[in-house]
Structure 1
Amino acid sequence: MKRGRLALGIIGALALGLGGSVVALRAGAGETDRAELEKRWADAPSRFVTVDGVRMHVREEGPANGPVVVLLHGSIVNLHEWDDVVPLLADKYRVVRFDWSPYGLTGPDPSGFYSTPRSAQLMDGLMKALGHDKFAMVATSNGANVGLEFNRAYPGHVTAMAFSMLPLERPSQTRKVDWRLKWMLEAHKAVLPNWRHREFWRLMLEDTTPPEFTPTDRMVDQITEMNNLPGALDRQAQYIQANVRAFQSSDVGAVAEAVRVPVLLQWCSFDDVISQSADASVKRFTNTKVDVINYPDLGHFPMWEKPEKFTRDLRNWLDRQPPAPAG
């Protein structure tokens, strides 16, 4: 009897503690502080440029007179996705990367509108503010959608395009997801829709990369901290819903037909998020030549999984392209 009462008491105490934690988190206790994050993740050479009312986080590295290469990160992450790539390019190239809205340390959009076309519009304003008219573009995951839309809507600026993850169709809705990740996602949606535990993001990275890859604390910390900024997940949800509507109501992949510059696909076959094949992707580019490099051992984050191999092939291809004029 005493053991039973003790067990019930422990369970009750845990329930009260958990309940109190949930209430606190729903009230904003888990939100990160923007000023503190900027000290940690926006150190030099980071700066902020305001475009159409949006305070955008940008970094430029490499020789000021070097040919310009723009790096576009994927969804859920930020410009630090390219941390291991930039040093391998910046001896020759002027490397520009930024947190495209609504991700990273780029601030809320006063228009309240988040979509791929809006992200491309802000990119156009940013590149003009930075003074870069011609540049090669390297993009991954949803950053590829932003890059393709930018090229379609603002032609004449991009001189070459390289993609790793390339969602020309809606990402797979049937892929097998780690049960722990599915459980945590449903729990968060039901109880804490505007906050994610650090373990959630670690599992997200593990679920989309090869078994031998282990995400570093730095990778997990930057995603966790920036995605727990006040309102960040809500802004991202609005962007994702706009994407879903676009995929459901139009042929999103047709945007590839507007590309008339050389294209490189660094196809990562271990990835199962992207639903179309490499061959199907190549066929979408009806007005240009496409080079394909296949990596059977790389997943959704090749720039983290094997940065030297990934960047070596990317750089060899960039070096063969007619150089964009210096910034």
Structure 2
Amino acid sequence: MQRWRMATAIAAMMLISPSSHAAPPESGTPYLSVAQLRGLYDDPAGHIAVIEGMEVYYKDEGKGPAILMVHGSRSSLRQWDDVAAKLTDRYRVIRYDIPAAGLSGTVTDAQAAAVQPTDIAEKLLAQLGVDHITFVGVSSGGTLGMYLAAKRPDLVDRLIMANTPADPVKTDHLKPTPSWAQALQRAADTKFEDQDYWKEYLTFFSGDGRRIGPAKIKAYYDLNRRNPEKHMIALVAKIGDGKAAKVAMAQVKAPTLLIWGGADPLLTPPAANALERYLTGTQVSKIFMPDVGHYPPLEAPERFAQIVAAYIEAATPAP
């Protein structure tokens, strides 16, 4: 039973099943509306673009060559806050909340059926007048970058992926700590992920959970108690069964950097090697951060920003 609960939790994170977000909120459970969340987390740097009829919350900060950053599932553009702060002195950093996550709007049945994950990135950049980017993505955000680079080699000059799956994700190797197992059981019993759940979640998937402070934990908790959305993951890029993904990986031409948290209990270092093998059409560089887990930009943002800048400026400078 414990292994099933772990698999269910990871399914939610890695997009194996959307069922945990399809149920209506139980009476008395402290869910928040999008308006309430915007009241808590919107700031003057935030904007809303309307793309395919959806409200897409984004930030566009700094001046210089453009970097597009895309978060992973069950996350938001806030995942990049500390990384962006280290780069906006010389780069234009663009990031957005994938609908229906974060502060972006809902996704209708028609939109879920017709819109592709890459459409949001392409059309947001077009609205902003951006025609060249370095793409930076973590987890499933990196998957979106891979598909975008394969589709639009004219747009993506460099591709940087952090702890991004190359194959369908397996969870049978995971061993929850006692405190994480308790949080999983409590969430299963109450049908709600409380703030302690998110503390244990982020700790389990980190190399050192002490690096993720209370404010970040609170934001994860709040943004994941948004009123349940029918199409929460419709516009998140997926590996699926891996067949179409492998074709796309082979089509990537942009120079690619893999930044890997070597202490990730889910996507261990061999997953980085697999991703490199599938990227047959480009030169791939790899950097392992041995003490960091699944979310390098969240756990070690200053180091992550240094690596991104070094890759752009020293490894692959513009002609």
| TM-score clears 0.5 | yes
Over 3 Å counting, the alpha-carbon distance change for 1:291 and 1:143 in structure 2 is same
Q: Which amino acid aligns with 2:59?
A: R
- Counterpart residue number, 1:229: 226
- Counterpart residue number, 1:171: 169
Give the SS at the match of 1:56.
strand
Describe the superposition over 1:121-164 as per-residue Cα deviations: whole angstroms up to 9, x where unpaired: 22222111122111110111010111112223344210101111
- Shift in Å, 1:190: 5.5
- Shift in Å, 1:299: 0.9
Describe how 1:287-326 pairs up with structure 2 within 5 A.
287-320=281-314, 321-323=316-318
Match of 1:82 among 80, 83, 90: 80
Distance (whole Å) between structure 2 residues aligned to residue 98 and residue 253 of structure 1: 26
Over 3 Å counting, the alpha-carbon distance change for 1:28 and 1:151 in structure 2 is farther
Matched, 1:59 2:59: yes
Give the SS at the match of 2:248.
helix
> Identity over the aligned pairs, expressed in percent?
23
Matched, 1:205 2:202: yes
- Shift in Å, 1:114: 4.8
Is the CA contact (8 Å cut-off) linking 2:161 and 2:259 kept in structure 1?
Answer: yes
Distance (whole Å) between structure 2 residues aligned to residue 116 and residue 154 of structure 1: 19
Matched, 1:107 2:101: no
Match of 2:274 among 273, 280, 285: 280
Is the CA contact (8 Å cut-off) linking 2:252 and 2:281 kept in structure 1?
Answer: yes
- Shift in Å, 1:238: 5.9
Q: Which amino acid aligns with 1:290?
A: V
- Counterpart residue number, 2:45: 45
Q: Which amino acid aligns with 2:279?
A: F
- Shift in Å, 1:203: 0.7
Q: Which amino acid aligns with 1:209?
A: S
- Shift in Å, 1:110: 2.0
Q: Which amino acid aligns with 2:176?
A: V
- Counterpart residue number, 1:268: 261
Matched, 1:128 2:121: no
* Between 198-207 and 279-288, the greater mean CA deviation after superposition: 279-288
Describe the superposition over 1:45-86 as per-residue Cα deviations: whole angstroms up to 9, x where unpaired: 1011110011001001102xx110001111111001111111
Describe how 1:149-168 pairs up with structure 2 within 5 A.
149-168=147-166
Which structure 2 residue ranges, 5 or more long, are not aligned? 1-23
Give the SS at the match of 1:247.
coil
- Shift in Å, 1:259: 0.8
Is the CA contact (8 Å cut-off) linking 1:100 and 1:106 kept in structure 2?
Answer: yes
Describe the superposition over 1:218-252 as per-residue Cα deviations: whole angstroms up to 9, x where unpaired: 111111111111124x5336678x94xx5337353
Q: Which amino acid aligns with 1:181?
A: W
Q: Which amino acid aligns with 2:231?
A: R
- Shift in Å, 1:300: 1.2
Distance (whole Å) between structure 2 residues aligned to residue 106 and residue 54 of structure 1: 8
* Between 281-290 and 267-276, the greater mean CA deviation after superposition: 267-276
- Shift in Å, 1:101: 2.5
Distance (whole Å) between structure 2 residues aligned to residue 114 and residue 274 of structure 1: 28
Which structure 1 residue ranges, 5 or more long, are not aligned? 1-23
RMSD over aligned Cα, in angstroms? 2.6
Describe the superposition over 1:72-117 as per-residue Cα deviations: whole angstroms up to 9, x where unpaired: 1111110011111112111111000001123211111123565997
Distance (whole Å) between structure 2 residues aligned to residue 197 and residue 215 of structure 1: 17
Is the CA contact (8 Å cut-off) linking 1:257 and 1:286 kept in structure 2?
Answer: yes
TM-score, normalised with respect to structure 2: 0.83
Q: Which amino acid aligns with 2:249?
A: A
Distance (whole Å) between structure 1 residues aligned to residue 222 and residue 125 of structure 2: 27
Q: Which amino acid aligns with 1:165?
A: N
Describe how 1:216-255 pairs up with structure 2 within 5 A.
216-232=213-229, 234-236=230-232, 243=238, 247-248=240-241, 250=243, 252-255=245-248
- Shift in Å, 1:30: 1.0
Match of 1:142 among 136, 140, 143: 140
- Shift in Å, 1:43: 0.2
TM-score, normalised with respect to structure 1: 0.81
Q: Which amino acid aligns with 2:258?
A: L
